[in-house]
Amino acid sequence: MSLQTRVIDEFQQQFGETPQFIIRAPGRVNLIGEHTDYNDGFVLPMAIDRAVWLAIRPRTDNRVYVTSTAIDTPTDFTLDNLENEGQHHWSEYLKGVTWALQEAGHKLNGWEGVLASDVPVGAGLSSSAAIEMATARAFTAVTPDLAWDPPTMALLGQKAENQWVGANTGIMDQMISAAGEQNHALFIDCRDLSTKSIPLPAGTAVVIMDSATRHTHVDSGYNTRREQCETAASFFAVSHLRDVTTAQFESKSAELEATHDNEVMRRARHVITENERVLQAIAAMQAGDATTMGRLMNESHKSMDQDFEITNEQLNVLAQLAQAQEGCFGARMTGGGFGGCAVALVAADQATDFATAVSQAYDQQTNLQSSIYICQATAGAAILGD
Find the binding residues for ligand GLA in span 57-96 (CB under 6 A).
Answer: none
Tell me whether residue 19 or residue 337 sits nearer to ligand GLA (CB atom): 337
Bridging pattern class, strands 371-375 and 204-210: antiparallel
Cα–Cα distance measured from residue 56 to residue 78, given in angstroms and rounded to the nearest whole number: 16
Which of 44/357 has CB closer to ligand GLA? 44
| 172 touches ligand GLA by CB under 6 A | yes
Q: Which of 10, 132, 173, 305 binds ligand GLA (CB under 6 A)?
A: 173
Give the integer Cα–Cα distance in Å for 316 and 153.
35
Burial class (CB in 10 A: 0-12, 13-18, 19+), 313: exposed
Residue 377 is classified by DSSP as: B
Q: Does 312 bind ligand GLA (CB under 6 A)?
A: no
DSSP string, 348-374: GGGHHHHHHHHHHHHHHHHS---EEEE
Least CB distance from residue 306 to ligand GLA, whole Å? 17
Q: Which CB atom, from 54 or from 278, has the smaller least distance to ligand GLA?
A: 278
Catalytic residues: 173
Longest dimension (CA), the chain: 68
β-strand pairing of 184-189 with 194-199: antiparallel
**By the rule CB under 6 A, 27 interacts with ligand GLA:** no
As a whole number of angstroms, the distance between CA 15 and CA 17 comes to: 6
Q: What is the nearest approach in angstroms of ligand GLA to the Cβ of residue 227? A: 13
Selected binder of ligand GLA within 35, 95, 240, 332 (CB under 6 A) = 35
E strand or H helix that includes residue 173: helix 172-179
CA dist list (Å): 53 to 118, 130, 158, 216: 9, 9, 20, 22
Instruction: Please say which residue, 55 or 97, places its beta carbon nearer to ligand GLA.
Output: 97
Exactly one of 10, 37, 92, 112 binds ligand GLA (CB under 6 A); that residue is 37
Looking at residue 202, the DSSP 8-state letter turns out to be: T
Count residues contacting ligand GLA (CB under 6 A)?
11
Stretch that binds ligand GLA, among 167-175, 201-209, 311-319, 324-332 (CB under 6 A): 167-175
Closest distance to ligand GLA from the beta carbon of 304 (Å): 9
Task: Tell me whether residue 173 or residue 307 sits nearer to ligand GLA (CB atom).
Answer: 173
Question: What is the C-alpha to C-alpha distance for residues 292 and 282, in angstroms, rounded to an integer?
Answer: 10
Closer residue to ligand GLA (CB): 58 or 221: 221
* Contact window for ligand GLA (CB under 6 A) among 169-177, 247-255, 344-352, 355-363: 169-177
Cα angle 39, 317, 264 (rounded to 5 degrees) comes to 30
Q: Which residue of 10, 34, 112, 305 would you call a contact of ligand GLA, by CB under 6 A? A: 34
Binding of residue 307 to ligand GLA (CB under 6 A): no
Q: How far is the CB of 349 from ligand GLA (least distance, A)?
A: 30
Least separation in angstroms between residue 67's CB and ligand GLA is: 26
The CA distance from 252 to 227, in Å, is 19
Should residue 336 be labelled a site residue for ligand GLA when binding is judged by CB under 6 A?
A: yes
Q: How far apart are CA 235 and CA 209, in angstroms?
A: 37
Nearest distance in Å: CB 224, ligand GLA: 13
CB of 125 to ligand GLA, least distance (A): 9
| CB of 19 or CB of 124, closer to ligand GLA | 124
Looking at the DSSP bridge assignments, the partners of residue 172 are: none
Query: How many other CB atoms are there within 10 angstroms of residue 62's CB atom?
Result: 14
111-117/63-68 β-pairing: parallel
**Residue of 26, 110, 170, 180 that binds ligand GLA (CB under 6 A):** 170
Burial (0-12, 13-18, 19+ Cβ within 10 Å), 383: middle
Which of 127, 132, 111 minimizes the C-alpha distance to 55? Answer: 111
The minimum distance between CB 42 and ligand GLA, in angstroms, equals 11
In the bound state with ligand GLA, the residue whose beta carbon lies nearer, of 170 and 330, is: 170
- In the region spanning residues 124 to 143, those forming contacts with ligand GLA, defined by CB under 6 A, are 126
* Residues found near ligand GLA in the complex (CB under 6 A): 34-35, 37-38, 126, 169-170, 172-173, 335-336
